[in-house]
Amino acid sequence: MHIATCVWQEKASAGGMGGAAAGGGGCAGGEWGAARAKVASVLGVAGCALNCAVSFVVFSALDVLDVVLCLVYKLVDYAAEAEWKSCYCAAASGPRAAQLPLAAAPPAAGGPKVVRLSASSAKLQLEDVSDTLYVRPSLLADATRAGNGSGSGVAPALTVSPAIAELIRGKMDRAPRPPRQAPCWSDCDCKVCHAWSGSPASSSHLYVHVQAPAMAVETEDVVFIHGFISSSVFWTETVFPAFSPSARSRYRMFAVDLLGFGRSPKPAESLYTLREHVEMIERSVLRRYRIGSFHVVAHSLGSVLALALAVKYPAAVRSLTLLAPPYFPVPESESESAAQYVMRRVAPRRVWPPIAFGASMACWYEHVSRTICLTICRHHRVWDRLFRIFTRNRVRTFLIEAFMCHTHNAAWHTLHNIICGSAGRMGAYLDAVDRGLSCKVAFFHGRDDELLPVECTLAAGARVPRARVTVYDRKDHITIVVGQERLFAAELEAIWRAD
């Protein structure tokens, strides 16, 4: 594995000066340094303890709030749409759950684990639906389990309550009824968010931004896939304008809005599984534009989809570039509950740092996260207008649109079924890339990324030894691209030329 540390910012020049200062410090300097280290250690332990204590209080309150909001939304949904909306709050165990017959495919058969939703229903592959959707123990339950010495890595029992079974079956068995076109009362109905409902053709394809050479020349194709709660503007407003004239004349570039995000369809009945996301990319890009071979560039959650495409089309992928891939190697002791392990890593239920607090609310609390979407996403035009007024229109607001143009249903299912649900597959995908693909592979990450730590990319690079791993100093999950567009565009052009 080739690791390159790139520092695009101003380089610190304290190397030689530090050594000279150390020579004259003497013993007093050493004692002072040791004392400072000890104080810092004590403060760190105290801060960690305070963070844990405050987090326990806050998230215990959120456990209760989510239950209250569940009842509130059921009443409001019925009042607004005359329909009781199902949710994943039903207990995953209990006397009624035992009435649901469960079955797993025998290992010798080589098939995936399945669960029968009822005696007459079809089988649902568990690989499509993450158990984190319906197994999310409260903080108090986790603490009690840890106190009893049972640990948090125990795999959730394959028991699904009848309410959850009916919810999943209703979403999977949607052939008898056409997709719902009207937005839910809690979703935005503006032209950007709901443009897909205008015709059957637009509702069956993703929105794709295409940048192609003006003249009819032989080109290479590049597919760009954005990350979680983002859209194609993450690419089209940043690196697309930064490409050199020669790159624009040579490459045909496709930036997609993933299913449920941006201008793409946001079907209410979808489970937003990995299978659905990949099939929509195939239908909307690969088949629609008759793409035979292509480069792939993906960010964050999009890296999972890019790996799935690469494994499915190993001969077609010319290069694979992944930015901040969400790869958390799952310990052997946690292998039976990989999705739960990743959920605890991505959303540790801590109030600090703030990004962990936000991820925890979005991942653990179905109705709290719906409230956040109701407040932010449904009124994104208001927030955008206020932001423009506050900044006097001096700051471009494309990231606000990308962050807010989705529904709670899309965000909730995509988060669990892609980020958490793919935890058990990522290692196999990377191994397949290493063994089955001969194309160039590159990983990029920001050292200051608090959402997905740099260890994710280092672990992915170790799994694909020939990959080039680049770590940007002083860059985080977003500024890995935003703020250094020209430099990153040059990196991509170099990768494509070396193909």
Catalytic residues: 226, 300, 449, 477
Distances 413 to 130, 303, 417 between C-alpha atoms, Å: 9, 17, 6
Q: What is the DSSP letter of 242?
A: G
List all residues 6 or more positions away from 458 whose beta carbon is below 8 Å from its beta carbon: 3, 445, 469, 471
Phi, psi of 137 (to 5 degrees): -65, 145
**Residue reference for tokens 């939703």:** 117
Shortest CA distance to 419 belongs to which of 337, 339, 362? 339
Quick check: 264 and 414 in contact, CB under 8 A?
no
In one-letter notation, the amino acid at residue 396 is R
DSSP code for 236: H
Dihedral pair phi/psi, residue 172, rounded to 5°:
-75, -40
Picking from 419, 477, 416, 479, the residue whose alpha carbon sits closest to that of residue 450 is 477
Q: Which two tokens stand for residue 126?
A: 């568990």
Report the C-alpha gap between 175 and 173 in whole angstroms: 6
DSSP conformation class of 49:
H
Round to whole Å and give the CA distance between 434 and 308: 13
Enter the tokens of residue 386: 């206020």
